[in-house]
Structure 1
């Protein structure tokens, strides 16, 4: 990262951490995106926050042509909930971002005809997808659990790009099996 400075971390002399202000901004972004995704995921899984629950979500997936709609509802709900928790905590951030992005790729396909700034528009879904992509590429910042996981301290851009590729492939495969 161009804005990174060398900061000594026990056991990892070459790790670079962004400045505190950048890390605080990443923390705020992660927390908000993570909380939103946990909320949406638990709406699908448990019907919390006036959500449809598994049965209503499965009905919606079936209506737009997904095979095994109940299974797809569980996968989407878990991806959003666990991805959101991972983002909020800064835990396995590239994979958490991939879970959110893969789900949003499918949501974009479903909502694309809604256009921008309309009641069922695409702008929210697109914002979530791009925010998850950005977090995969930047990493979670210094205020995150990932900071204490040695494997995630090195090669951050490579992990981010790999996570994005995983999300795109997984999202595309699900779209291909949709009727």
Structure 2
């Protein structure tokens, strides 16, 4: 195999950087795609589980009534409505991340929800059992996927408009997450 040609102005040269054979680049890209898949699955399925706890009471969750009462106790005016919003954001955002489906929006749902968790529970400290570190990790991981894209092993690759990830999609989704989180936080009393 011949090295790739590089053209600068009127000068063309062949140059090969060590370790950049097509096979090496393909292996490197496959590794990144698998890493993104694992990250999406871990974060997405974990959040989807939390969402269905809130919505349906599955996995020893409180369901809408218990979660709604909790949201009311921490200052949200319509606790049950907030339970639905948080549950859907976690369940659908988590499933979207896991599948790599509408990934920037799924990531935005997760980031916005986790911003609320961090702001509301920050007084409990950073570390578990009541701290915010888990929410911070989930938010940062979802933001990373928003910015990096879902990788090759994602449903988005089947959708022509999302087949090629653009950083601008991820940045716009994260801006939407921040604005939405701020709007929700402003409803608290």
TM-score clears 0.5: yes
1:80 aligns with 2:80: no
Residue in structure 2 matching 1:56, options 66, 71, 77: 66
Counterpart of 1:157 (choices 156, 167, 174) is: 167
In structure 2, how many angstroms separate the alpha carbons of the residues matched to 1:121 and 1:170? 23
**Alignment deviations for residues 56-109 of structure 1 (CA, whole Å, 9 cap, x no partner):** 000010000001111110010001000011001000000000011111111011
Q: How many residues align?
A: 164
Distance 2:90 2:62 in 1: 15
Q: Deviations over 1:31-54 (max 9, x none)?
A: 011110110000000000000000
**Contact map agreement 2:157 2:164 (CA 8 A) in 1:** no
Residue 36 in 1 paired to residue 46 in 2?
A: yes
For the aligned residue pairs, the C-alpha RMSD in angstroms reads: 1.5
Residue 156 (structure 1) shift: 1.5
Cα separation, partners in 2 of 1:119 and 1:56, compared to 1, 3 Å: same
Find 2:79's aligned residue among 69, 73, 98: 69
Q: Secondary structure of the residue that 1:151 maps to in structure 2?
A: coil
**Partners of 2:165 and 2:98 in 1: CA distance:** 21
Q: TM-score, normalised by structure 2?
A: 0.84
Q: Indicate the residue corresponding to 1:23 in structure 2.
A: 33
Change (3 A) 1:154 1:141: closer
Partner of 1:10: none
Q: Which residue of 2 aligns with 1:144?
A: 154
Q: Kindly provide the CA deviation profile for residues 96-149 of structure 1, in whole angstroms up to 9, marking residues without a partner as x.
A: 000111111110111111212242011001000101100100011000011111
Between 1:104-113 and 1:160-169, the stretch displaced more is 104-113
- TM, length-normalised to structure 1: 0.88
SS of equivalent residue, structure 1 residue 152: coil
Which residue, 129, 132, 144 being the options, matches 1:134?
144
Point out where structure 1 has 5 or more consecutive residues left out of the alignment: 8-17
Task: Please state if 1:47 is matched with 2:53.
Answer: no
Which structure 2 residue ranges, 5 or more long, are not aligned? 1-19, 23-27
- The CA distance in 1 between the partners of 2:157 and 2:164, in whole Å, is 10
Bigger relative CO (Cα 8 Å, ≥ 6 apart): 1
Q: 2:104 aligns with which of 94, 108, 113?
A: 94
| Alpha-carbon distance between aligned partners in 2 of 1:164 and 1:110, rounded to the nearest angstrom | 19
